[in-house]
A = this chain, B = another copy of it.
């Protein structure tokens, strides 16, 4: 599989501007200025620890949840069949079991070609495993009490699946009467029921199958001391200053490639995966508003240096989706004579088919203006981003919270019993605070 950005080449790919910024780490001080609520101290020196040193509250499993993608083209069929079987992502109601396989089978050859075009598979597994491992190393230093932090990846539609991750957790000595602490850390910065919500429902399902005495609510209260894993959830982090900073740095790198006289008029197009309007309107999914919050925070960090718009990509099928669509927007701006555009992936943190194929090959590749329409890098191996992940995790471990108060609130129009039970389970976990006596 050919990665666009092999991890080993990370430092050679970073621009001089980025490297100097990384060395000086201005991001950390600016996080604090810009965002007193969310910033955390990095400055406290801590004694060196290794992955083998165990703090008073360690070890801690750090489980990165994401949708995943096929690592090889022959995994595309399985990937799509899981994706279209997921009623949280693509609600087909009673027809799910019938229509899901039909649609996925029909789309498989086309999507296989797309994965072939980006090098034979999605890089999301490599990036996720790299990000999780690197974050855990930082976290061992930042939060020695909960060390060692063990990295796990759980994908919703590709290997390693949630089931595989859970079996690994049990084999590694978590649960099975031995208790232990695990953090489900969503890698979607903004919460949607169709992404993070779906991953949590899947995690809850496997937890009940592999650790629950019954699938009912009765075991929730007793789970504190019964030797099962204590779960907590990092369910959203849309404006964490490190996320914002890492996106902004990548935008600045792209802006630096334009001639000085046009630079300030380059239009920034933040592009997020769209949602069907049925999800937005009926259920009141929080995702569009949280994506908008990310975009506004990035523009504040950039001091509104350029005009911008938030647009939405990857719409499929005939029903109404949230827009304006990324591809239409690019076409419309070209028609208006505005050909200096930077596309910015804002809702996924690693490269995947929607950046490498849809944006790079289709939207940019077919625009006729590949020289002036560009894309900012995905966060992938960005050290600023990985530092941000560690900061978010540290704050969570210190908070003693099982999840955000926002996660406990169901969408107004939600009818899913699975969602209700899953939320009740995670919100009901009693978690001790790291740092508390």
Contact = CB atoms under 8 A, between A and B. Distances in A.
A404 to B, nearest CB: 7
Contacts of A239: 296, 300
Contacts of A33: 36
A26 interface: no
Given A37-B300, A290-B296, A332-B413, A280 B405 contact: no
Contacts of A300: 35, 37-38, 239
A199 to B, nearest CB: 20
B34 A412 contact: no
Contact of A409 (B35, B267, B311, B320): B267
Given A292-B293, A329-B284, A412-B324, A304 B406 contact: yes
Given A280-B323, A289-B295, A295-B289, A406 B329 contact: no
A296 B37 CA distance: 12
A405 B306 contact: yes
Interface residues of A, number: 54
A305 B405 CA distance: 8
A37 B37 contact: no
A277 interface: yes
A106 B267 CA distance: 43
Contact of A412 (B290, B333, B404): B333
Nearest to A336: B410
A212 interface: no
B309 A286 contact: yes
A239 B297 CA distance: 10
A309 B264 contact: no
Interface of A: 33-38, 238-239, 264, 267, 277, 280-284, 286, 288-293, 295-296, 300, 303-311, 320, 322-325, 328-329, 332-333, 336, 404-406, 408-413
23 contacts: A33-B36, A34-B36, A37-B303, A267-B409, A280-B323, A284-B309, A284-B311, A284-B324, A290-B296, A292-B296, A296-B296, A306-B405, A307-B406, A307-B408, A308-B406, A308-B409, A309-B411, A320-B320, A324-B412, A329-B412, A329-B413, A332-B413, A333-B412
Given A281-B320, A291-B292, 15 more contacts: A34-B35, A37-B303, A239-B300, A267-B409, A277-B277, A281-B322, A281-B324, A284-B311, A286-B310, A288-B288, A304-B405, A307-B405, A307-B408, A311-B412, A333-B412
